[in-house]
Amino acid sequence: MTAPTLVIIPTYNESENLERIVARLHEHNPDVHVLVADDNSPDGTGEIADKLAAADDRIQVLHRKGKEGLGAAYLAGFRWGLDAGYQVLVEMDADGSHRPEDLPRLLAALDERQADLVLGSRWVKGGRVVNWPKTREFLSRGGNLYVRLATGMRLRDATGGFRVFRRTTLEGLGLDGVESAGYCFQVDMARRALRAGFHVVEVPITFVEREFGVSKMSGNIVTEALWRSTVWGFQDRTAKLTRRGAKR
């Protein structure tokens, strides 16, 4: 992959993980640049990010005022990366659940499969999760099944957050119209890409449960994502029926 690539890592209280994940990322992907988008973490994550940036010109830091949600952090990172001229932008968690070792295959899929958006997928053939209880796996699989049924998307893992976007894809989605802030942001972005006619592919990854820190996942986050998916599915189906009626 020769195009400049920016990996956006949103952080909130990831002081135990940030240095580890950036080191692993550059071990396996030495040419990528990193933008740490920190939501004013009270545990000092932002200060750690500043130290990393001072020692390595491949690393930049975006300090945000406070915790506004995962989607808001990524949108800010996308805008920063687009303004800076990057051609490929990557979403990746700070907690180690997204393995940097898998990133080269996701980047390769842009050219090999002519993709506009590549999703790292836990639930396609070859994908797997490590150190998850069965209840968590059931929740994720069931949630993705519901998203498929509600929205009509055929994606196996629309809720995953390890993703690669072409610059042209983000520009074509109209980021100013994206309002999702929480984890339903991932479903929203995949839905928008498919509706806009972009080629979305899934590449198997190994998802590893975090070793340090506290997961941000909660029942309320899942409920919001499922509710939003229901609304989006209803809106899309209504729009299709309206278009069909107008053609008659």
152-196 residue pLDDT tens: 999 999 999 999 999 999 999 989 888 776 668 999 999 999 999
Over 50: is that where the pLDDT of 76 sits? Answer: yes
Over 70: is that where the pLDDT of 94 sits? Answer: yes
User: How crowded is residue 169: how many other Cβ atoms within 10 Å of its Cβ?
Assistant: 23
What percent of the chain has pLDDT above 70? 87
Note down the domain range covering 67. Answer: 5-247
Let me know the angle formed at the C-alpha of 167 by 45 and 56, rounded to the nearest 5 degrees.
35
Over 90: is that where the pLDDT of 126 sits? Answer: yes
End-to-end CA distance of the chain: 48
Q: What is the pLDDT of residue 181?
A: 65
pLDDT digit string (tens) for 186-225? Answer: 999 999 999 999 999 999 999 999 776 555 555 556 666 6
Q: How far, in Å, CA of 6 to CA of 166, rounded?
A: 11
Closest CA to 147 of 166, 137, 160: 160
Q: What is the pLDDT of residue 213?
A: 53
Q: How far, in Å, CA of 244 to CA of 248, rounded?
A: 7
CA 96, distance to chain mean position in Å, is 14
Over 70: is that where the pLDDT of 51 sits? Answer: yes
Average pLDDT (146-156) is: 93
Distances (CA, A) of 11 to 53, 73, 87, 107, 177: 15, 9, 23, 23, 23
User: How crowded is residue 175: how many other Cβ atoms within 10 Å of its Cβ?
Assistant: 16
The DSSP line for the chain is --S-EEEEEEESS-TTTHHHHHHHHHHH-TT-EEEEEE---TTSHHHHHHHHHHH-TTEEEEE-SS---HHHHHHHHHHHHHHTT-SEEEE--SSSSB-GGGHHHHHHHHHHTT-SEEEEESSSTT-EEES--HHHHHHHHHHHHHHHHHH----S-TT---EEEEHHHHHHH-GGG----STHHHHHHHHHHHHTT--EEEEE-EEE--SSS-----HHHHHHHHHHHHHHHHHHHHHHHHHHHHH-
Looking at the 3D structure of the chain, how many domains does it have? Answer: 1
What percent of the chain has pLDDT above 90? 74
Mean pLDDT rounded to a whole number for the chain: 90
Q: How far, in Å, CA of 16 to CA of 47, rounded?
A: 12
Average pLDDT (59-87) is: 95
Distances (CA, A) of 68 to 11, 45, 110, 200: 11, 16, 30, 27
Average pLDDT (72-87) is: 96
Residue 234: CATH number of its domain: 3.90.550.10
Q: How confident is the model at residue 1 (pLDDT cuts 50, 70, 90)?
A: very low
